[in-house]
Amino acid sequence: MAYRVYSGPRGTETISPLEKDRMLYKEFSSLDQAMSWARHVNDNGRTALLIEGDDGTHLTHTEITAALTHPERPPLHAGS
């Protein structure tokens, strides 16, 4: 099973199917690894836009953000 994480510049909300076909992605063997990478991307100035899996998983930017938001986790750059 493979999960692909597509990312883009901060502020980007969605990607069209045409854009997706031309975008680079990082592939992982588990959803946990893909979500971890999405967190890394979001914490370092970019935006995870889409996670797609061979099993039919399809998480949009909004769904990824909601899944990564945890009330006990402070923002990485809280003091900046």
Summary mean pLDDT of the chain: 88
pLDDT value of residue 15: 87
Q: Which sequence spans correspond to the domains of the chain?
A: 3-68
- The predicted model gives 52-70 an average pLDDT of 92
Task: Give the whole-number percent of the chain exceeding pLDDT 70.
Answer: 88
| 51-54 contacts, C-beta under 8 A, 24 or more apart | 51/3, 51/4, 51/5, 51/6, 52/3, 52/4, 52/6, 53/1, 53/2, 53/3, 53/4, 54/1, 54/2, 54/3
pLDDT value of residue 12: 86
Task: Give the whole-number percent of the chain exceeding pLDDT 90.
Answer: 62
Report pTM: 0.82
